[in-house]
C-alpha cells in the first residue's frame, strides 16, 4: 500500500475542455473529529443525509471512515448533476457536525471526467457506474496538485496507468472515478492543512473502490517480480515529476452509501456509540 506505484496508479486528472463538458460534479469533504466525539459526529453525519437527498440535483453519496480507528478522520464523497448544488449542499451539514470537529473540514468541488469498471473505461460517466448501495468495501481517495504546464503529460500518463491496471482484471475491483477541481483556488484555501503548491492549480482527485484492502494491494503491487513493468514505471515517473507538492492519499471503508428514489437505502441503524466501527 505504501508503494509509489500504487499511489501513482490511483491518481487522476483531466484537462480544462473536459471540465467544461462535465455533467457530474462531486463534493469531496475530509473531516477531522475531536477525540471522544466520534459517536456524536457519526450520528450527526448520518442524520444529515436527508438534507442531501432532498436536493433535486443530488445523485448519490458515500460516507467514509478511516481504516485506522485512531486517526479520527472521516470523509464524504457526494455527486450532483449541478456544480452549484455540489458547492452549496455542505453548509447545513457543517452546522450540524461542526461542534464535533477539531477544525473546519477540507472541501473540494470537482468535475467527473473518467470512470473505470472491471470491463474497462466508461465512455460517458454519469456518477452511477459502480458500487451503488454497497457498504463495507475499501475506498481510496487521492489528492494531487500538478504544475499547470505539465497538465497534458500528467493526464495522459495517469489515464494510461489506469487502463493498464484495469486491463489486469484485478480481483475485487469495483471501479474508479477521476475528477478535477472546477476552479484553481488560492493555495491557502486549497490546502489549508497540508503543504501548499507554489502556484494556483486545479487539484486532481481519484476515488476508487475494492472489495477488500488485500484486493487493492494485489491489484497494484508486483509480489513476484522485482522488475517493474517498463511502461508503468515510465508513466509513474511522469506522474511524480508533474506534482507541485507531495501526493496525499487516504484509505477508508465505505460505511454508508445512498442515492434517491429506487437508489435510496434505508437509514443505517445505530447499534453502538461508534456506529461506523460495527
Residue 271 resides in a domain: no
State the residue range of the domain holding 199: 4-261
Residue 268 resides in a domain: no
Give the pLDDT of residue 254: 96
Residue 166 resides in a domain: yes
Please state which of the ranges 114-118, 175-179, 195-199, 224-228 shows the lowest mean pLDDT.
224-228
Give the pLDDT of residue 233: 84
* pLDDT-derived band at 271, boundaries 50, 70, 90: very low
Average of pLDDT values for 191-209?
96
The 3-state DSSP class for residue 79 equals strand
User: Is the confidence at residue 79, as pLDDT, over 80?
Assistant: yes
Burial 226-263 (b: 16+ CB within 10 A, else e): eeeeeebeebbebbeebbbbebbbbbbbbbbbbbeeee
User: Is the confidence at residue 91, as pLDDT, over 60?
Assistant: yes
Count of domains in the chain? 1
Residue pair 173/166 in contact (Cβ under 8 Å)? The answer is yes
CATH number at residue 242: 3.30.70.100
Residue 178 resides in a domain: yes
pTM for this entry: 0.86
Q: Residue 223 has what DSSP assignment?
A: S
User: Is the confidence at residue 9, as pLDDT, over 70?
Assistant: no
User: Is the confidence at residue 194, as pLDDT, over 60?
Assistant: yes
Of the candidates 220, 204, 229, the one whose C-alpha atom is nearest the C-alpha of residue 6 is 220
124-139 tens-digit pLDDT: 999 999 999 999 999 9
Residue 158 resides in a domain: yes
Q: How many CB atoms lie within 10 A of CB 270?
A: 14
Residue 242 resides in a domain: yes
Give the pLDDT of residue 203: 96
* pLDDT-derived band at 152, boundaries 50, 70, 90: confident
Amino acid at each position: 500500500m505504501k508503494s509509489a506505484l500504487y499511489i501513482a496508479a490511483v491518481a487522476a486528472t483531466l484537462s480544462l475542455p473536459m471540465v467544461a463538458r462535465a455533467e457530474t460534479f462531486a463534493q469531496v469533504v475530509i473531516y477531522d473529529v475531536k477525540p471522544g466525539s466520534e459517536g456524536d459526529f457519526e450520528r450527526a453525519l448520518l442524520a444529515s443525509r436527508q438534507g442531501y437527498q432532498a436536493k433535486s440535483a443530488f445523485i448519490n453519496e458515500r460516507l467514509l471512515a478511516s481504516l485506522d480507528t485512531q486517526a479520527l478522520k472521516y470523509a464524504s464523497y457526494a455527486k450532483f448533476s449541478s456544480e452549484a448544488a455540489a458547492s452549496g449542499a455542505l453548509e447545513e451539514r457543517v452546522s450540524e457536525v461542526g461542534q464535533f470537529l477539531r477544525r473546519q473540514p477540507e472541501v473540494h468541488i470537482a468535475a467527473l471526467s473518467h470512470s473505470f469498471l472491471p470491463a474497462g473505461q466508461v465512455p460517458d460517466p454519469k456518477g452511477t457506474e459502480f458500487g451503488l448501495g454497497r457498504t463495507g468495501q475499501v475506498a481510496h481517495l487521492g489528492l494531487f496538485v500538478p504544475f499547470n504546464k505539465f497538465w497534458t503529460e500528467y493526464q495522459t500518463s495517469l489515464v494510461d496507468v489506469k487502463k493498464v491496471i484495469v486491463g489486469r482484471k484485478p480481483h475485487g475491483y469495483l471501479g474508479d472515478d477521476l475528477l478535477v477541481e472546477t476552479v484553481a483556488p488560492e493555495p491557502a484555501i486549497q490546502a489549508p492543512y497540508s503543504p501548499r503548491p507554489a502556484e494556483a492549480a486545479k487539484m486532481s482527485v481519484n476515488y476508487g473502490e475494492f472489495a477488500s484492502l488485500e484486493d487493492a494491494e494485489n491489484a497494484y503491487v508486483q509480489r513476484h517480480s522485482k522488475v517493474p513493468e517498463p511502461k508503468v514505471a515510465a508513466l509513474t515517473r511522469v506522474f511524480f515529476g508533474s506534482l507541485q507538492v507531495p501526493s496525499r492519499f487516504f484509505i477508508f471503508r465505505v460505511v454508508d452509501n445512498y442515492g434517491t428514489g429506487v437508489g435510496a437505502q434505508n437509514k443505517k441503524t445505530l447499534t453502538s456509540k461508534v456506529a461506523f466501527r460495527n
